[in-house]
Homo-oligomer: A and B are copies of this chain.
C-alpha cells in the first residue's frame, strides 16, 4: 500500500542546469497522480524510470508556465504511445482554452476530461476507494491552489485469535471491522477494542506551491505526514519573496510548525541558490524535520497503526 511522492522538479520559474521546474508524482497504491507539469516533466519521468503510462489524473496548481508547459509534450507523447484511456486534468478554467487551442486539429486518440478548479474555495476534486484529493486556495500573484492527498479510513483488522474464540461468521466479522462491538450468545458484550488491532493511521500529503506566507492554509493541512511547501527564497531575499507572492524557507517552516506536520519538504528554489543547503538550514531553525527536496527522490509515508491507550 504505497503512499509516496517523487519530486520531478524543484526549480522556480527559471530552470537551472541542475534543476527542473515543478512536477510531483504521487503514488497511491500504484495509482499515479501528477501534480503540476513543468517543462521537461516527461524527460524527468523517463530519467527516473517512472511508468508515466499509468498517470490518469493531473492536477495543475496555477497557470504560470513553469507549472504546466510540460503538459503539451506529455499529452503528445501519450498520443504517440497509443493511449486510449481518458486523461483527467484538474486546473483553472483558462487552461482548458489553451489545451483546446493547442490540440484543436489533433486527433489525440484519447479524451481529455477537464475539471475546473474553483479559485476561491476548498473542494474535493477526486475520490476512489483509497484516497480523496481536495484543493484549497493559496495566496499568489495570480490564483493558485494547494492539494491535499488524504487516505481514507481502512476497515479494522480483527485479531485472528478472536475469530476462533468467538466462532465469528462473515456477517459478524463485517460488523466488527466497521467498529461495532460483539454480543456473545450468553449476552456478554465484547468491546470492539478487544477484538481488533489498532486502526491504521490515515496518511496525508499536502502540496502548497506557489504561495506567499499564508496561515489561512493551516486548517487544511493540519497534521499531514508530509507537507511540501514552496521556499523560493532564503531570508536574504525576504522582500522579494513578499513582492513576488512567494515564501522564504523560514516562512514555509513556520507554516509546518503551525500545522503540526510530520515532515516538511521545501522546494521551488530560486535559480540564485546554486546550493540549497542554506534554505534547509534556515527552515530547520524553525521546524527541525525540514528537508530540501532532491529531484528523483521518492518520499514514502509508511503505513502504521495508531497507538491505543489500553
A20 at the interface (CB under 8 A from B): yes
The oligomer's copy count stands at: 2
A76 at the interface (CB under 8 A from B): yes
Identify A13's interface contact among B39, B40, B76, B101, CB under 8 A: B76
Identify A15's interface contact among B16, B46, B72, B97, CB under 8 A: B46
Contact B81 A73 (CB under 8 A): no
Point out residues on A near B: beta carbons under 8 Å. Answer: 13-17, 20-21, 39-40, 42-43, 46-47, 49, 65-66, 69-70, 72-73, 76-77, 80-81, 97-98, 101-102
Contact B81 A46 (CB under 8 A): no
Contact B46 A43 (CB under 8 A): no
CA distance A23 to B116 in the complex (A): 34
Contact A65 B73 (CB under 8 A): yes
Q: Which residues of B contact A16 (CB under 8 A)?
A: 46
Chain B residue nearest to A105 (CB atoms) is B94
CA distance A66 to B101 in the complex (A): 17
CA distance A15 to B69 in the complex (A): 16
Using A39-B39, A42-B39, A43-B15 as known contacts, say yes or no to A69 and B65 having CB atoms under 8 A apart. no
CA distance A5 to B21 in the complex (A): 27
Select the residue from A20, A72, A101 with max chain B CB neighbours within 10 A: A72
Q: Which residues of B contact A101 (CB under 8 A)?
A: 97-98, 101-102
Pick 27 A–B contacts, CB within 8 A, sort by A: A13-B77, A14-B80, A14-B81, A15-B43, A15-B46, A15-B77, A17-B43, A17-B46, A17-B47, A17-B49, A21-B73, A39-B42, A39-B70, A39-B73, A40-B40, A40-B43, A65-B72, A65-B76, A66-B73, A66-B76, A69-B69, A69-B72, A69-B73, A72-B72, A98-B101, A98-B102, A101-B101
What distance in Å separates the Cβ of A201 from its nearest Cβ neighbour in chain B?
A: 36
Chain B residue nearest to A44 (CB atoms) is B17
CA distance A77 to B64 in the complex (A): 11
CA distance A101 to B94 in the complex (A): 11
CA distance A76 to B63 in the complex (A): 12
CA distance A17 to B44 in the complex (A): 7
Chain B residue nearest to A101 (CB atoms) is B101
CA distance A99 to B98 in the complex (A): 10
Contact A15 B42 (CB under 8 A): yes
What distance in Å separates the Cβ of A246 from its nearest Cβ neighbour in chain B?
A: 13
Contact A80 B13 (CB under 8 A): yes
CA distance A49 to B65 in the complex (A): 22
CA distance A30 to B72 in the complex (A): 32
What distance in Å separates the Cβ of A250 from its nearest Cβ neighbour in chain B?
A: 25
What distance in Å separates the Cβ of A233 from its nearest Cβ neighbour in chain B?
A: 15
